[in-house]
Amino acid sequence: MYGDDSIQRYGLKLGPYPECVIPTDKIEARLREYPPGSTQPKVVLLGTGSYSPVHRMHVAKFHLVRAYLEGQGVFVAGGLMSPGHDIHVVLKLAEKAIPVADRVAMCRMACQGESWLGVSTWECHQQGFVDFPSVTRNHRKFFDEKFPEHHIRVIYICGADLAIRCGLERGLNDLRVAAVCRPGYSMGNMLEVARPHEPGDSLAYFYVIETDQIEDVSSTEIRRRAASPDGRHTLEELMLPETADYFVKHMETRTRQQQQQQNARSCIIS
């Protein structure tokens, strides 16, 4: 399978997440709050990525998009983090990859205190890597079948860099996108060339959210800090306390395992 050799090369115990769950409890609660007689379009926000690990900016991005869309007259029924498949994460991060069970656990911790955010394991449950357009369309199909009377649309949220790289402003068939710019980043004239609204549809195909209200945080910086005992004490600046504690324990366990593997190889060679 695509990427299996990389998993074996780094000796990582990875694979599909065992359970396929698209949670709907918080979405159902939000739908009960839909104003009677309203014509607001209903959407669920979906964000894919490695979440390796999840951090404060991931959560803030969902809140920013929700606030922006509600200001545009859109009813946001929920938001879902969708951690990527282990194969994709290994190819991207090599030996620094975090197994999907740990990534899902940390994402769930990050969403625990949120009344409208959850974690979907559909993507990481598949037998291999699935790109974000297919992930988005499969979630939309799920909501069409689960809530046929609500006509829920799915808006894929991503960073401006991905939107530019993939040309998402021009539309990707039926994909709807909200691109969030990191502080100091500009989308230029992308809205001017964006795919127009469909006649009679108030929901756009492409939204741009520019903000300086969130700190520029990256999983790369978190992994760098976590690599040293001194840096681990500063992780709560970038992560929620519960996820930071979990991640530190994960790193300590990985360090012990790597040391044991190194000792075992040394014994074989000697």
pLDDT averaged over every residue in the chain: 86
Give residue 261's pLDDT.
56
pLDDT > 90: what percent of the chain?
51
Q: Partners of 181 in the beta sheet?
A: 210
φ/ψ (deg, to 5) at 172: -125, 80
Q: Kindly indicate the confidence band of residue 269, based on its pLDDT and cuts at 50, 70 and 90.
A: low
Q: Kindly indicate the confidence band of residue 211, based on its pLDDT and cuts at 50, 70 and 90.
A: confident
> Which carries the bigger pLDDT value, residue 68 or residue 10?
68
- Residue 68: Cβ within 10 Å count: 18
Q: Kindly indicate the confidence band of residue 257, based on its pLDDT and cuts at 50, 70 and 90.
A: low
Is the CA virtual torsion 158, 159, 165, 171 positive or negative?
positive
b (16+ CB within 10 A) / e for 15-42: bbbeeeebbbebbeebbeeeeeeeebbb
> Which carries the bigger pLDDT value, residue 166 or residue 135?
135
Is the confidence at residue 136, as pLDDT, over 70? Answer: yes
CA distance 13 to 161: 31
DSSP H or E segment with residue 248: helix 241-269
Residue 172's alpha-carbon distances to 20, 100, 142, 205, in angstroms, are 26, 28, 20, 9
Give residue 3's pLDDT.
46
Residue type, 11: G
